[in-house]
Amino acid sequence: MSVICRQTPTLHDFPYRGEGRKCYHKWIVNVTPPGKQHCTHACVYCYARDAVYSRKGGDGPAVYGNLARLVERELAGLALCPPVSISNITDPCQDLPELRRAVTALVEVLVRWGVSFHVITKGDPSFLGEVDGFPGRGHFFLAVTIEGPPGVLGILSPAAPPYERRLEALRWAASRGLPALVRLDPVIPPLWRALYGAKWKEPLAGVLEDCSRAGAGHVVSSTGRFTGPTLRALENITSSLSPREARAMRDDYLYDRSQTSRGFMLRLPLRLAFHREARAAAEELGMTYAVCQELPASEGDTQGLPHCEAFPMPFSRRAGPQEFVPIPGCTANCHVHCAGSSAPPCGTAELAQPQPFKPRSLKDQGFSPSSAGSRSGKRPGSTP
CATH classification of the domain holding 102: 3.80.30.30
N-to-C CA span, the chain: 26
Q: Is 283 helix (H, G, I), strand (E, B) or coil?
A: helix
Looking at the structure of the chain, the number of domains it has is: 1
Residue type, 355: Q
Q: What pLDDT digit, counting tens, does each position of 299-337 carry?
A: 999 999 999 999 999 999 999 999 999 999 999 999 999
Residue 158 domain-assigned? yes
Rounded to whole angstroms, how far apart are CA atoms 275 and 283?
12
- Residues 72, 75, 77: CA angle, nearest 5 degrees: 120
Contact yes or no for 234/226 (Cβ under 8 A) = yes
Altogether, the residues listed in the chain come to a count of 384
Residue 135: which domain range?
Answer: 2-355
Pairing of strands 263-266, 323-326: unpaired
Rounded to whole angstroms, how far apart are CA atoms 325 and 350?
21
Residue 102 domain-assigned? yes
Could you count the other beta carbons within 10 Å of the beta carbon of residue 7?
Answer: 8
* Residue 221 Rama label (left phi>0; alpha psi -120 to 50; beta): beta
Contact yes or no for 145/185 (Cβ under 8 A) = yes
Query: 344: which residues sit within 8 A by CB, 6+ positions away?
Result: 330, 334, 338, 351, 352
Contact yes or no for 360/353 (Cβ under 8 A) = no
pLDDT in tens, the chain (384 residues): 899 999 999 999 988 888 888 999 999 999 998 888 888 898 999 877 555 444 444 566 899 999 999 999 999 999 999 999 999 889 999 999 999 999 999 999 999 999 999 999 999 999 999 999 999 999 999 999 999 999 999 999 999 999 999 999 999 999 999 999 999 999 999 999 999 999 999 999 999 999 999 999 999 999 999 999 999 999 999 999 999 999 999 999 999 987 776 799 999 999 999 999 999 999 999 999 999 999 999 999 999 999 999 999 999 999 999 999 999 999 999 999 999 888 899 999 999 999 999 999 999 655 444 444 333 333 333 332
Contact yes or no for 298/289 (Cβ under 8 A) = no
Can you spell out the DSSP letters for 304-362? T-SSTT-S----EEEEETTEEEEPTT--S-HHHHSTT-SS-TTS-GGG-SSSPPPGGGG
Residue 381 domain-assigned? no
Residue 367 domain-assigned? no
Residue 299 domain-assigned? yes
Query: 177: which residues sit within 8 A by CB, 6+ positions away?
Result: none
Rounded to whole angstroms, how far apart are CA atoms 357 and 337?
15
pTM (two decimals): 0.91
Contact yes or no for 88/13 (Cβ under 8 A) = no
Residue 365 domain-assigned? no
Residue 374 domain-assigned? no
Residue 362 domain-assigned? no
Rounded to whole angstroms, how far apart are CA atoms 98 and 78?
29
